[in-house]
Chain A
Amino acid sequence: MNAEQAGQKDLKLLEIRSVTKEFDGLKALDNVSFTLSKGEILGLIGPNGAGKTTLFNVISGTYLATSGEVFFAGSNITKVKDYKRPYSAIARTFQNVMLFSELSVIENIMLGRHPKTRSNLVHAAFHLPLHSKEEKETRKKVFEILDFLELTALADERAGDLPYGQQRLVEIARALAVEPVLLLLDEPSAGLNPQETQELMKKLDITNDSGISILCVEHNMKLIMSISDNIVVLNYGKTIASGKPEEISKNPDVIQAYLGKGGD
């Protein structure tokens, strides 16, 4: 790693500042703070109901934080609408795969190009040059991504007909089509067999090497410990630990959170 890259590593890309999210007075997130540096893979773990998906939804704008702030690439995006965030190059996947099931795999991934293109209904209706040019570029980009994730053979399949594991990959492909700076992955390995999980880890590494920062919720401990640069642990909506994977795996609070209070 040269000096420049080392310098970039320290840049704050995503900053969560004392974020609290209440649902009818119940705190799903309670004063959560952490930072994701540019270029890193940050693992987000915690027992079921710890608030991981809620936090994802706050970052992607599906929910607005009750209090606290979210900074992305130096600007405050706490109140930015969800559909505007992909234009700042934030892309996400969902815990329960959310594909457009009637559409083909290609069309799903083409939708990932939506924030990167701008032809509107007038361009489309009259086949104006901008439409044709963008369609061509979109297809090219989509085939690159299909190739990268080894999905080319499935290009014309109806997305809803695919097995669950492949649907997950298509969803990741769709998020990659956004050309994100920050990629939010919600349990990417759920539903994958061990071999597919291995493949996925390799792909995520390559993705990360190409400069995309990743925030990843994951239940597969082996996977998250091996791919993450840093890990944040949530429990009952609070951050109970953060640090390097090896520190986290030895942290007594984390062990207790996962294993329960034992003899108490």
Chain B
Amino acid sequence: MSPFDVASLGSARNLARIGVIACIVLTLGVTLRWLFHDALPGQDHWASLNSSETYSERTFPSDEFIGSGHVAEDARLWMPRSATYRVLVGSKYQNTPWGWAAPNFLAGFLFPRKRDDADARWVVCLGCDVSSLGSGFQVLSDGGNGVVFGRIGA
């Protein structure tokens, strides 16, 4: 960068250059401060946390949103890849994350298995009335919080 002409410091061009220097100094100062104070430690923190997580911690969001990671995992391990399944949400939970978020998580997690609420014999029940599934419903996994997975018929 060429030096200023001090005599014409008040010219528009030199005023602009002073402004540019101020902008660069500010940006560089703030960027370097935040790089070492926040960005690098922040990325390091998350990298260490991600690295130390278990399979479950990395795979399942909180049960508050998805019902039960344990039951979802059992559902994946039970159902063949070509299976279809139902997701039944109890009326009490329709307007909670179990109603509006858990089925989406299950859809993504259980692919390539497909959801079919009409005819499927595999059932993920999120606080639903299990007795309504009839005596032929066999519970295969129970999250202990009203979330169960099972199969209708043998």
Q: Do A and B come from one complex?
A: no
Q: B residues within 8 Å of A by Cβ?
A: none
